[in-house]
Amino acid sequence: MLQVKNMSFGYHKKPILKNIDFQVDKGEHLSVIGESGSGKSTLLKLLYGEMDVHEGSIFWKDTQILGPKHNLIVGYDFMKYVAQEFDLMPFITVSENIGKHLSNFYPEEKQARIKELLKVVELTEFANTKVKLLSGGQKQRVALARALAKEPEILLLDEPFSHIDNFKKQSLRRNLFNFLKANNIVCVVASHDKEDVLPYSDKMIVLYNSKIVANNTPEYLFSHPKTPLIASFFGEFNVIDGKIVYTHQLKIVDQSNLKATVKKSYFKGASYLIEADLNGNSIFIENEEPIENNKEIYLITKQTQP
Ligand code: ADP
Ligand code: MG
């Protein structure tokens, strides 16, 4: 279990994280969400022991995670961290990179492990390719596989799919998070992409203004977004009568007391986003069809909160 208690940190006296408290239980996946610059990467580095906390403590089970002031070598055997900038060995192959920290005393086990991980990150056909010849996304996948080679108890991932194109992202996420669950590996992932989070995280925390402003399941935070910041993570929304209403929660009906005038329809793939004027403000509605400009429409908000 990972336990962070009343932890604070800043760079050169500028506070970045203040009184951070949370815990991650056995086998759980936690996402850390927040705007760019909100301190997600800083938090992961502190969890890894790359820097010293200024106040409070971090524990993995009974071991206190300590930074460079207390440890000559940064990091712990039970923990792996894949940073936003991953450093691989460019002149050796993908397989050699993945197996870099595995013992040569068990060559068969080592090869089996590398083969298994190549499959997880879908790089089997690149096993013998030198890393310097790979794309950014492929390198990121090698870094993920290498972090898993020695089967850590806890894995810290910083924007793990940021360099990977959409073709590969979906299946890679599934492979990776299913692999972690199947092997009971605790995972903390920093991300700004809801697709990384919603299907796979047991809990998410939201960082804002140096603090944790929400800590709950993705389902709960989606249906009870306390602030526009939290709602914006899940998708486009409107504020109507002071309430947050996602675009898919507005429904066009024959008659209602919410009358709006269509301004534009945007094609979004599975649906259209309709921009309409409601009392001088733009609102946005998800609709299956485009609607002609200047048409008057009537809206109701669909109740989705349980
Ligand atoms: P995020 O990962 O959420 O984008 P970061 O943790 O990287 O945020 O950064 C949080 C804040 O700390 C930012 O304002 C950033 O400019 C600052 N920061 C990050 N690294 C350093 C550093 N090594 N020295 C000084 N300030 C830093
Ligand atoms: Mg970051």
Question: Using one digit for the tens of pLDDT, what is the confidence trace for 12-59?
Answer: 989 999 999 999 999 999 999 999 999 999 999 999 999 999 999 999
**Considering only CA atoms, which residue is closest to atom 6 of ligand 1?**
39
Average pLDDT over residues 105-124: 95
The residue assigned the tokens 């092997």 is: 183
Closest CA to 117 of 80, 91, 159: 80
pLDDT score for 71: 87
Identify whether the C-beta of residue 42 lies closer than 8 Å to the C-beta of residue 16.
yes
Ligand 1 near 138 CB (within 6 A): no
Average pLDDT, the chain: 94
CA–CA gap between residue 306 and residue 304 (Å, rounded) = 6
Ligand 1 near 36 CB (within 6 A): yes
pLDDT score for 114: 97
**Considering only CA atoms, which residue is closest to atom 22 of ligand 1?**
11
pLDDT score for 306: 43
Identify whether the C-beta of residue 95 lies closer than 8 Å to the C-beta of residue 114.
yes
Identify whether the C-beta of residue 301 lies closer than 8 Å to the C-beta of residue 250.
yes
Q: Which ligand is nearest to the CA of 83?
A: 2
For the cut 50, the answer to whether the pLDDT of residue 63 exceeds it is: yes
Sign (positive/negative) of CA torsion 38, 208, 143, 51? positive
In what helix (H) or strand (E) does residue 172 lie, and over which residues does it extend? helix 166-182
Q: How many residues does the chain have?
A: 306
Q: In angstroms, what is the span from residue 191 Cα to ligand 1's centroid?
A: 15
CA–CA gap between residue 148 and residue 153 (Å, rounded) = 10
In what helix (H) or strand (E) does residue 146 lie, and over which residues does it extend? helix 136-148
Ligand 1 near 41 CB (within 6 A): yes
Average pLDDT over residues 199-221: 96
Those residues whose C-beta lies under 8 Å from the C-beta of residue 69, and which sit 6 or more positions away, are 52
Q: In angstroms, what is the span from residue 41 Cα to ligand 2's centroid?
A: 4
DSSP at 302 = P
pLDDT score for 303: 66
Ligand 1 near 139 CB (within 6 A): no
Identify whether the C-beta of residue 214 lies closer than 8 Å to the C-beta of residue 226.
yes
pLDDT score for 232: 93
Identify whether the C-beta of residue 244 lies closer than 8 Å to the C-beta of residue 250.
no
Ligand 1 near 106 CB (within 6 A): no
For the cut 70, the answer to whether the pLDDT of residue 291 exceeds it is: yes
Give the global pTM. 0.91
Structural domains for the chain: 2-224 (3.40.50.300), 236-301 (2.40.50.140)
The residue assigned the tokens 């806890």 is: 154
The residue assigned the tokens 């399941």 is: 217
For the cut 70, the answer to whether the pLDDT of residue 304 exceeds it is: no
Those residues whose C-beta lies under 8 Å from the C-beta of residue 124, and which sit 6 or more positions away, are 115, 118
Ligand 1 atom closest to 42 (CA): 6
Q: In angstroms, what is the span from residue 13 Cα to ligand 1's centroid?
A: 13
CA dihedral (255, 257, 263, 269) in degrees, to 10, reads: -60
For the cut 90, the answer to whether the pLDDT of residue 253 exceeds it is: yes
Closest CA to 296 of 243, 247, 253: 253
**Considering only CA atoms, which residue is closest to atom 20 of ligand 1?**
42
For the cut 70, the answer to whether the pLDDT of residue 83 exceeds it is: yes
